[in-house]
Amino acid sequence: MAMSLRPHLLRWASSEYLGTLRRGATLLEVGAVFRVASVFLVWFSGFWVGGQAKAMLGMMCSLGGSVAFAVGWWWLTTPDLRRAEREARFSLRRRARVMALTLAMVGGMLLAIDAVRAQGMGTPGVVRMVLMVLWVGVLVVQFFGAVDYFVDLARRAEDPGWERWMSACRWLVPLGLLAVVVGSVAVYLMMLDSVRRGIVRVHERQRLERTRHLGDPNQ
C-alpha cells in the first residue's frame, strides 16, 4: 500500500539502481579530485618539471577528471525504470544529465585546444575565449540544475538533513566563490597599498634627513 502511494521514494528502488547512483556519486568525487590535482600540477609543478612536461601532466589529470565527470553524471542521472513511463519530458534528472554532458563536451573542446597549443600548433585565441565564456555560462546553469536534482534525490531518500544541506549549498557555493574572489581582490589591494605606504615611509624619512642636514651648519 505504502509503495503504491509513494512509488518515487528510493526505499522502493531496486538495488541495481541504487548501486548505479552510488557509483556515479563516487566517480564525481574522483573527478573533482583529478580536477583539483590538474590545477595544482599546472600551477606548482614548475618546481620539479617544466615546459611541455608540466602542461602534459596537467592535461592528463584534467582529461581524467573530465571523463570521470561525464561518466559519473551519466550514472548518477540513470533513470529509475519504475518511474520511466511517468517521468516528465523535462524532468530534473533529464535536465541535469543534458547540462552535465554539455559541460563535459565544451570542456573537452577546451582541452583539445590546449593540447594543440601544447604541440606548438596555434589556434585562434578568439575561439578559446568564446568557448571559455560558453563553458562558464553552462557551468552556472549546470550547477543550479544539479542542486535541484540533488534536492529531489534527498526528498526521495526521505532525508530532511540531506535536503536542507543541498538547499543551503545552492547559495553557499556561489557565496563562497564570491567571498574568495572579493577576499583575494581585497588582499591584493591591501598588498599594493602596503607597498605604497612602505615606499612613502622611506621617501619621507629620506626627505626629513636631507632637511635636517641642510639645516645643520656643521654639514
Q: Is the Cα torsion angle 98, 102, 104, 108 positive or negative in sign? A: positive
User: How far is Cα 84 from Cα 172, in angstroms, rounded to an integer?
Assistant: 33
Q: Please compute the mean of the pLDDT values over residues 187-216 and round it to a whole number.
A: 86
Compute CA distances 147 → 119, 141, 204, whole Å. Answer: 38, 10, 56
pLDDT band at 122 (very low <50, low <70, confident <90, very high): low
Least confident of 26-35, 40-49, 53-62: 40-49
Other CB atoms closer than 10 Å to residue 176's CB: what's the count? 11
150 pLDDT above the threshold of 90: yes
81 φ, ψ (degrees, to nearest 5): -60, -25
Q: Please compute the mean of the pLDDT values over residues 176-193 and round it to a whole number.
A: 91
43 pLDDT above the threshold of 70: no
pLDDT tens for residues 4-24? 546 678 888 888 989 999 999
Least confident of 17-21, 67-71, 123-127, 200-204: 123-127
pLDDT tens for residues 55-104? 677 677 778 888 898 999 999 999 887 776 777 888 888 999 999 999 98
Helix intervals (H) in the chain: 2-5, 15-44, 51-76, 92-118, 125-156, 160-215
More confident residue, 87 or 158: 158
Q: Please compute the mean of the pLDDT values over residues 25-40 and round it to a whole number.
A: 85
